[in-house]
Amino acid sequence: MLSLPRLLPPALLLLASVISAPLSAQPTPPPATPQQQQPAARPAFGNQIRQIKGNLYRAGNGAWHSIFLVTEKGIILADPLNLAFATWLKPQLEERFHVPVRYVIYSHSHFDHAAGAKVFADTATIIAHEGVATNMDGRYPQMPGDMIDRNNNGMIDREDIMIPTTADPGICGMSASFFDQTDLNKDGIVTPAELQVDIVKPDLYYSERMTVTLGGKSVELMHPGKNHGNDMTVVYFPEERVVFATDMIADALVRTDLHSLPSACGPFDGTPLAEWISSYKAVQALDFDIFAGGHGDFYSKADIAAPIEFLEDLQSAVTEALGKGWSLEQMKKQIKLEKYAKWQYYDKLREKNIEAAYLNLTKFR
């Protein structure tokens, strides 16, 4: 859940612009061979725009990515990421494509992906799943990384953020400086307004599916169900056969492949494990070639099977152990998940995944 700094100093912004990859936007290249359909997308630091396929591009900074489709009537963008990035992106898009951003879609309401859309608000309609309306109604939103009101004082204070941040650095919580950056009036509490200071409320909500049409192109939005968040949107580009989804299937820990244990914060972010699995399967059921998510590399449809299988195996191992009356400590010792021994974070996160599944499956049944 490492957060990007909300405001990069101007010098860093300039540097980021200079090192961004040059890009020729037009015309559409010839049809890709099957091998070219999986372009390499190593995470690199600095703001970048790179072509995925045709008029579809990935833009991002470090391990955080957005996606946008250029049409003759304007651009459809998913996830502005943060105010600094959006401020960099807007003139890049204007210079390269000469059309305004007409739609901004939020993959979910978390501040490290949805912030910054005010930069595009003069030309764009902002769209999100209806769960985002609840998460922006003035109460505390569903938070990532096990950042919860753990001391039950009705507010998010320093320890609510720092306990998961310190326990699992770079995996749960946010960066060490997140609390001080977010507590704008320095009263020791981060309020919902402070958490969402750079997030613009959407103009339009949908509940299950929605089609966005612009300049003769269509983009499909789908709420897959709850998983990492309770307001998730998957963006499907049918003509390009590309899917964009954030913090699900590929979370912030994922790099070159999907053989990576999930970060599994708290009780799996407080949504039922069965729904995590069904929502991943809803993505798998789409007809696509490339999964180009908010984190990680580009993956094939076949690659999506591995994280689904992991969650199913974890769910069944812990369910079986609960049925036998095992304690959590016994489960951590005896559930080895050997099939995944070579996955990234196996040693670091195996027990944590078992604990998260235990908390989840005793809460939801």
Q: Is residue 110 involved in binding Zn ion (CB under 5 A)? A: yes
Task: State which residue has the least CB distance to Zn ion.
Answer: 110
CB nearer Zn ion, residue 6 or residue 102: 6
Residues across the chain = 365
Rounded Cα distance, 300 and 207, in Å? 27
Of 57, 169, 66, the closest CA to residue 112 belongs to 66
Q: Which is nearer to Zn ion, 60 or 144 (CB)?
A: 144
Report the C-alpha gap between 58 and 50 in whole angstroms. 5
- From residue 25 to residue 44, the character string flagging contacts with Zn ion as x (rule: CB under 5 A) and all else as - is --------------------
Q: Total number of residues binding Zn ion (CB under 5 A)?
A: 3
Minimum Å distance from CB 253 to Zn ion?
A: 12
Stated as kind and residue range, the H or E segment containing 313 is: helix 305-323
Residue recorded with tokens 């390499």: 40
Q: Which range in 39-47, 65-73, 143-151, 215-223 contacts Zn ion by CB under 5 A?
A: 143-151
In the bound complex, what is the minimum distance in angstroms from residue 146's beta carbon to Zn ion? 12
Shortest distance (Å) from residue 107 CB to Zn ion: 8
Q: Looking at 107-115, 181-189, 286-294, 305-313, which segment touches Zn ion (CB under 5 A)? A: 107-115
Rounded least distance, CB 34 to Zn ion, Å: 32
State which residue, 69 or 172, has the beta carbon closest to Zn ion: 172
CB nearer to Zn ion: pick between 201 and 241: 201
CB of 110 to Zn ion, least distance (A): 3
CB of 176 to Zn ion, least distance (A): 19
Least Å from the CB of residue 184 to Zn ion: 21
CB of 283 vs Zn ion, minimal distance in Å: 16
Region of 97-105, 136-144, 322-330, 356-364 interacting with Zn ion (CB under 5 A): 136-144
User: Contact between 247 and Zn ion (CB under 5 A)?
Assistant: yes
First to last CA, the chain: 27
- Per the structure block, which two tokens stand in for 162? 């720092």
- 353: Cβ contacts below 8 Å, ≥ 6 apart: 261, 262, 264, 314, 337
Considering only residues 305 through 334, tell me which ones interact with Zn ion, judged by CB under 5 A: none
Select 110 or 350, whichever has its Cβ closest to Zn ion.
Answer: 110
* Helices 305-323, 346-363: crossing angle, 10 deg rounding: 60
Using CB under 5 A as the binding rule, whether residue 144 contacts Zn ion is answered as yes
Of the ranges 98-106, 124-132, 241-249, 261-269, which one interacts with Zn ion (CB under 5 A)? 241-249
**Smallest separation (angstroms) from Zn ion to the CB of 305:** 23
Could you tell me if 238 and 287 are in contact, meaning their C-beta atoms sit under 8 angstroms apart? Answer: yes
Nearer to Zn ion, 75 or 349 (CB): 349
Q: Smallest distance, Å, CB 228 to Zn ion? A: 6
**How many helices and strands in the chain, by DSSP H and E?**
11, 15
Q: Is 110 or 223 the residue whose CB approaches Zn ion more closely?
A: 110
With respect to Zn ion, which residue has the nearer C-beta, 74 or 131? 131
Dihedral of alpha carbons 260, 112, 158, 146, sign: negative
Q: Compute CA distances 45 → 14, 24, 63, whole Å.
A: 13, 21, 8
The one-letter amino acid code at 269 reads D
Residue closer to Zn ion (CB basis): 227 or 360: 227
Beta-strand pair 204-206/44-53: unpaired
Whether the ω angle into residue 27 lies within 30 degrees of 0, i.e. cis, is yes
Q: Decide whether 37 or 175 has the Cβ nearer to Zn ion.
A: 175
Q: What is the sign, positive or negative, of the torsion defined by CA atoms of 28, 34, 36, 41? A: positive
Stretch that binds Zn ion, among 45-53, 105-113, 290-298, 354-362 (CB under 5 A): 105-113
SS (H, E, C) 98-146: CCCEEEEECCCCCHHHHCCHHHHCCCCEEEEECHHHHHCCCCCCCCCCC
Q: Which stretches of the chain bind Zn ion, using CB under 5 A?
A: 110, 144, 247
